[in-house]
Amino acid sequence: METRAASRVAIKLKVVCRIEKNFCQKFGLTCGDVFGLTAVDISESGIGVVSEYFLPKGLILELEIEGVPPDIEKIMTIKGEICYCTYKKNSGYRCGVRFVDLLDEYRSSIANLVATYELRKFPRVKLAE
């Protein structure tokens, strides 16, 4: 059963991440507070990424995403919160990042991208709120 709140599409993009200043003293990586991720899918509510590092639930990141959607001509800078992080053999950590305070400009552009490329034929099941 599908439980996602928003439709998503597969992508492959490089993302530059920065750990938010309030979290730097609580959580540190050997590489420092700036590191790279690979985005694997995107929706209006968040982005799926693959990381070589474990990122704990609740960690707030500043994400710089370049290349998507096509009508955004600059790098999107978005704040996100780690919702889950699980280890996948041979590919690193798969993490779900929920967007926090996403600009309306970005939200509508991502929605257009998803509407154009999502291949799902059946409606999603809505969970009671």
19 in Cβ contact with 59 (< 8 Å): yes
Using a 10 angstrom Cβ sphere, with 0-12 exposed, 13-18 middle and 19 or more buried, the burial of residue 127 is: exposed
Mean pLDDT of 11-26: 78
Each residue of 36-54: pLDDT tens digit?
Answer: 999 999 998 999 999 998 9
Buried b / exposed e over 38-49, threshold 16 CB at 10 Å, is bbbebbbbbbbb
Looking at residue 110, what DSSP letter applies? Answer: H
Structure tokens at 88: 């996948």
pLDDT above 70 (res 111): yes
pLDDT of residue 33: 76
57-66, 91-100, 112-121: lowest mean pLDDT where?
112-121
Each residue of 21-35: pLDDT tens digit?
Answer: 766 556 666 566 788
Instruction: Enumerate domains of the chain plus CATH numbers.
Output: 8-116 (2.40.10.220)
